[in-house]
């Protein structure tokens, strides 16, 4: 394990992807736990309006991710695409920080952040390129290392921000922080990108519509849809966590940051261990186990009477999320294994498809029942999707040794 991690770190492209996605994790973690609180509690969006906004943003992000992934494969201009999307991320953060209002919040979360978020899958495309160029790299370990870097950053950031919020920092300052983090990422990409030729700039030679047909095969779409529903549990958790803590558990805004950070910190080591377990367990089997654990975690949040008693759930939450958010990456990438950009774009499609599905569940559930009941609905649907995926792929838990 340690040797595999060392080989990953010694690869320049993979190391750059690791540093950039770590910083991206810091930026995303600064906003996501507080986004619904800012949008609903601070700026005055209704539950339905907020759900519509996140659904529109998810839909636009799906289109952007596919287009960016295919374009990257067609042209081999991975560095230029990553640079442009990072600049958009800087603009998104400044937009809300400088002019906080419903209009700028909408612009940032429906258009700008979805474009900037395509960098997430570009880092996995970089990891895929690195493993195809370097025979010493283990793909599952490399992908898990990248995903764990994101989770680790996501774990450390909210608690620090919680301290700042408790000390009087205005929540809107997190958007200025996002702009700063993206600026550092931009400098890293400009200065640290490896300049070796070869498959780093290799063009796929496939047309845009041919690539779309490849991505829209029935077997791919069915599995991608099920993964999106599974991942939607995490997206729904991100929406309702702050609202449940504030309205049901009697917690504070800083508690939101501490809890989200604790879950993410548990995720990181689970992601790395998951890569090793995959040598014996099928990806679908691991995903099914993760779905079961995470569904129990999210559904149980509303069963606790007060904030003091819910902290123990950080452990199963981190285990379930660690499995789902890492193992699904390799699973989705392998649906179109020969196209690093397009295949990685499917990771974004699954995540933002999950966001869209979670937004629809939130809009429907919150309009007729409370936030806790809405979480239960999302977990039931995610569990059904996990069972369906497990059955479709043969219902095998252990790998068959030839």
Specify the pLDDT at position 107. Answer: 93
Confidence at 216, pLDDT banded by 50, 70, 90: low
Q: 25: Cβ–Cβ under 8 A, 6 or more apart, which residues?
A: 149, 150, 151, 152, 153, 154, 157
3-state helix, strand, coil in the chain (%, to 5): 85, 0, 15
CA 8, CA 14: separation in Å to the nearest integer? 6
Indicate the DSSP class of residue 201: S
Give the per-residue pLDDT at 130.
Answer: 79
292: closest CA among 164, 190, 384?
Answer: 384
pLDDT confidence bin for 402, thresholds 50/70/90: very low
> What is the pLDDT at residue 289?
92
CA 254 to chain centre: 22
Rounded Cα distance between 224 and 218, Å, is 10
Contacts of 30 (CB under 8 A, 6+ apart): 157, 158, 161, 174, 177, 178, 181
pLDDT of residue 254 exceeding 80, the answer is no
In the predicted model, is pLDDT for residue 106 greater than 80? Answer: yes
User: For residue 39, what pLDDT band results from cuts at 50, 70 and 90?
Assistant: confident
**For position 112, what pLDDT does the model report?**
93
pLDDT number for residue 230 = 94
What fold is seen in the domain 2-392?
Growth Hormone; Chain: A; (1.20.1250)
Higher pLDDT, 59 or 208: 59
Per-residue model confidence (pLDDT) at position 327 = 86
**How far is it, in rounded angstroms, from Cα 106 to Cα 109?**
5
Mean pLDDT of 304-311: 84
pLDDT of 15 > 70? The answer is: yes
Higher pLDDT, 264 or 321: 321
pTM beyond cutoff 0.85: no
Buried-state track 281-312, b at ≥16 Cβ within 10 A, e below 16: bbbbbbbbbbbbbbbebbbbbbebeebeebee
Q: What are phi and psi of 385, to 5 degrees?
A: -65, -40
Is 90 exceeded by the pLDDT of residue 260? no
Q: What is the pLDDT of residues 228-249, one digit of tens each?
A: 999 999 889 988 888 888 888 8
Confidence of residue 184 (pLDDT cuts 50, 70, 90): very high
Contact 216, 345 (CB under 8 A): no
91, with CB counted inside 10 A (0-12, 13-18, 19+), is middle
Do residues 230 and 385 touch, judged by C-beta distance below 8 A? yes
pLDDT(400) > 70: no
Query: What are the backbone angles phi and psi of residue 398, rounded to the nearest 5°?
Result: -95, 145
Tell me the pLDDT of the chain averaged across its residues.
Answer: 82
pLDDT at 3 over 70: no
pLDDT at 295: 93
pLDDT digits (tens, 9 = 90+) for 43-81: 888 888 888 888 788 778 778 877 887 777 777 788 888
Confidence category of residue 364, pLDDT binned at 50, 70, 90: confident
- Percent of the chain past pLDDT 70, that is, above it, reads 88
pLDDT digits (tens, 9 = 90+) for 82-92: 999 999 999 99
* DSSP-derived secondary structure letter, 149: H
Rounded to whole angstroms, the Cα distance separating 279 from 4 reads 14
Distance, in Å, from the CA atom of 312 to the CA atom of 55, rounded to the nearest integer, reads 32
């Amino acid at each position: 394990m340690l040797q595999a991690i060392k080989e990953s770190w010694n690869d320049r492209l993979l190391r750059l992807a690791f540093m950039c996605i770590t910083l991206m994790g810091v930026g995303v973690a600064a906003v996501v736990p507080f986004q619904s609180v800012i949008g609903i509690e601070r700026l005055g969006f209704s539950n339905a309006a907020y759900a519509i906004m996140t659904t529109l943003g998810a839909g636009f992000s799906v289109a952007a991710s596919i287009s960016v992934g295919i374009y990257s494969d067609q042209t081999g201009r991975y560095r230029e695409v990553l640079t442009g999307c990072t600049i958009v991320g800087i603009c998104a953060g400044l937009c809300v920080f400088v002019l906080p209002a419903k209009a700028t919040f909408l612009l940032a979360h429906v258009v700008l952040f979805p474009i900037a978020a395509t960098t997430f899958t570009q880092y996995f495309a970089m990891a895929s390129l690195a493993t195809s160029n370097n025979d010493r790299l283990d793909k599952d370990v490399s992908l898990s290392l990248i995903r764990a870097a994101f989770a680790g950053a996501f774990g450390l950031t909210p608690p620090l921000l919680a301290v700042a919020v408790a000390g009087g920092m205005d929540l809107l300052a997190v958007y200025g922080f996002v702009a700063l983090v993206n600026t550092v990422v931009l400098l890293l990409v400009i200065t640290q990108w490896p300049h070796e030729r070869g498959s780093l700039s290799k063009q796929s030679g496939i047309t845009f519509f041919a690539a779309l047909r490849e991505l829209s095969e029935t077997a791919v779409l069915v599995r991608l849809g099920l993964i999106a529903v599974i991942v939607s549990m995490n997206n729904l958790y991100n929406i309702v966590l702050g609202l449940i803590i504030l309205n049901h558990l009697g917690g504070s805004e800083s508690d939101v940051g501490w809890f989200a950070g604790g879950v993410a910190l548990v995720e990181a080591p689970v992601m790395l261990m998951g890569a090793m377990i995959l040598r014996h367990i099928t990806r679908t089997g691991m995903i099914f186990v993760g779905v079961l654990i995470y569904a129990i975690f999210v559904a149980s949040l509303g069963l606790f009477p007060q904030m003091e008693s819910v902290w123990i759930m950080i452990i199963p939450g981190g285990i379930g999320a660690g499995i789902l958010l890492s193992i699904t990456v390799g699973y989705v990438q392998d649906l179109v294994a020969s196209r690093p950009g397009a295949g990685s774009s499917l990771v974004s499609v699954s995540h933002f498809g999950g966001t869209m599905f979670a937004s629809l569940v939130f809009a429907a559930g919150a309009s007729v029942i409370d936030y806790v009941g809405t979480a239960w609905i999302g977990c039931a649907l995610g569990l059904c999707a996990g069972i369906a995926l497990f059955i479709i792929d043969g219902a095998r838990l252990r790998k068959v040794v030839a």
